[in-house]
Structure formats: C-alpha cells, structure tokens
Amino acid sequence: MMVLGIISDERALKSKSPAMHNAVMRRHGIRGTYVPFQVRPDRVGDAVRGLPALGITGVNVTVPYKESVMPHLDELSVEAEAIGAVNTIACREGRLIGFNTDAAGFADTLFEAGFEAGERGAIVVGTGGAAKAVLWVLREAGARPLLLAGRDARRTAELAGTVTAEAIALDDLPRRVGEAELLVNATTASSRAESADLADRASGLDGSGLKLVLDLNYGRSDNFWQILARKHRAVFMDGLAMLAHQARRSFAIWTGRDLGPDDFKAGLREDS
C-alpha cells in the first residue's frame, strides 16, 4: 500500500491535506493512505532522511519547513532550486527528490480567478517559502510593479532581490497599496487572534484599486484579508483553491496520474 503524508510542526494535525488525498484515493480505488507527520524543528533532517526506510512514497512539506528540508535532499527539481523552497518530496529508489508545486498551484489559482498578472501591480505580504513561489510566478508573468512587504528588512530585501521585486516595509503598505491590483497574503496570519498588528494594518488600507485578494491560508472565520476585499469589492480567494491545485500536481509526481483539480476540490468538500 502506498503511504503519503505531510511534514510540518503541530500544524500538520490541522491540515486538510490528509482528508483531501484520502478522499481522492478512495474515489479512484487507489490503495494508499495519507497521514500527518508532526516533526520537531531539531528532527527535520532525521524525519526526511528516514522516509525511504519507512517505505513512504512521498510527502508534502508545509510551514515552517519548506526551506529547512532542502539540505537533506539528494536532488532538487529546476523549479525548487530556482525558487529556493520545497513543498513536495518524492522517494525514488532510495533517493529523495524535492519539488515545488506551490508555484504551479499559484499560477493555476490565478488562472481560475481569471487574473492575468502581466503588467499589473502586485503586492506580496510575507517572506517565507510560500512567498518565494508566489514571487517567482509573478515575476515570470511580468507583474509590474512587484512589491514585497515584510517585517524583517534584511530578509525582505534579500528575497526581493532574487526576483527583482521592490522591498517595502509594512509601514509603507498604506502608501503603496494603490499601485497594486493583486494582494497576496503569504504570512501565516489571517485572523486577529494570529496577529492584531497585521489585522489593524489591513483594516486601515485603501484597497479601492484591488481586483483580487488572495490569502494562502484557509479556515479562518474572521479573516481580515477577506474583510479588506469585501470592503473594496475585490474578489477574495483563500488558500483552499491553491491547496487543491498544488495537491493535484504533487499527486501526479508521486503516482504518475493527473486526476485534475476537480477531484481534489471534491475531496476538500467531503472534509467540510
């Protein structure tokens, strides 16, 4: 039986990925299971290197380990190496190969929303592994201006430099948001309980020029990014669409079967 999974910290136990993938495998008569792996930060290398010995076909990797797993892999796909983050690991003949399906999943999500990023302004908030994939896609699509907002000035500048984006401070968001039609939240905060500071910043933005607000998180009942979008009549999408799109691509890497995004969206509905 094929064994798949997701590696994270305690957030692995809250992920919708296991229910989604297991529903897809049941529907298609695929003998397999997808399980969450809660891993401590100091054991990430041990966990990754132990995957082949456990007979695991592959895993997804999510916050906060998309970058820290990379030194423990034998090979990286072209996209994963270019982006500098891994969200999918395949075990092939004892070798660990890292992929990034977040980028393609994000591009698929933009396509689903009917948003063409070329020559349109975009702001990405956050500087983690997911932000790397988003910025890479937007740069390739020709988004202009492409702005990256983060708390840590040094990390923000370094990441922006890798994709020829402009680094800005969170304090600059009110002044610069008018240049963007797309706002992407790539932080882990979408509710006031997670970040009162970011909630206050979002509520004070004049987002009248925004056409699409895309939050990579999901499952927040008081999502301040959604409130921002509604206030300014922009389209809002949470992270479930991107989750389904990247999951489809990860599953194809592991199994060679492209089942299409609708199967994975149906799997998410079964879990709701």
Q: Which of 14, 16, 66, 132 is catalytic?
A: 66
The C-alpha angle with vertex 135 and arms to 131 and 137, in degrees rounded to 5, equals 120
Statement to judge: residues 127 and 230 lie in one domain: yes
Q: Identify the three-state secondary structure at position 193.
A: coil
DSSP codes, 220-237 = -TTBHHHHHHHHTT-EEE
**Residue reference for tokens 């456990």:** 54
Statement to judge: residues 201 and 258 lie in one domain: no
Statement to judge: residues 54 and 116 lie in one domain: no
pLDDT-derived band at 47, boundaries 50, 70, 90: very high
Reported in sequence order, the residue ranges of the chain that DSSP labels E, i.e. its strands, are: 2-8, 32-38, 58-61, 75-76, 88-92, 95-99, 122-125, 146-150, 166-169, 182-185, 212-215, 235-237
What is the count of structural domains for the chain?
A: 2
**DSSP character at residue 191:** B
Statement to judge: residues 192 and 126 lie in one domain: yes
At 271 the pLDDT is: 78
Q: What's the token pair of residue 111?
A: 């396509």
231-244 pLDDT, tens digit per residue, is 999 999 999 999 99
Statement to judge: residues 35 and 86 lie in one domain: yes
Q: How large is the average pLDDT for residues 123-136?
A: 98
Q: How large is the average pLDDT for residues 176-196?
A: 98
Tell me which residue range forms the domain holding 116.
Answer: 104-237
At 251 the pLDDT is: 99
CATH number for the domain including 65? Answer: 3.40.50.10860
Statement to judge: residues 11 and 79 lie in one domain: yes
Long-range contacts for 95-101 (Cβ within 8 Å, ≥24 apart)? 95/52, 96/48, 96/49, 96/51, 96/52, 96/72, 97/73, 98/69, 98/70, 98/73, 99/250, 99/253, 100/133, 101/246, 101/247, 101/249, 101/250, 101/253
Residue 158 has pLDDT above 90, yes or no: yes
Statement to judge: residues 232 and 137 lie in one domain: yes
Q: How large is the average pLDDT for residues 53-71?
A: 98
Q: What's the token pair of residue 237?
A: 């999408």
Average pLDDT, the chain: 98
pLDDT-derived band at 270, boundaries 50, 70, 90: confident
- Distance of CA 136 to CAs 192, 221, 250, 272, Å? 29, 29, 18, 31
Statement to judge: residues 79 and 116 lie in one domain: no
Statement to judge: residues 219 and 148 lie in one domain: yes
CATH number for the domain including 230? Answer: 3.40.50.720
Statement to judge: residues 155 and 180 lie in one domain: yes
211-261 pLDDT, tens digit per residue, is 999 999 999 999 999 999 999 999 999 999 999 999 999 999 999 999 999
Is position 66 annotated as part of the catalytic site? yes
Statement to judge: residues 73 and 38 lie in one domain: yes
Statement to judge: residues 215 and 143 lie in one domain: yes
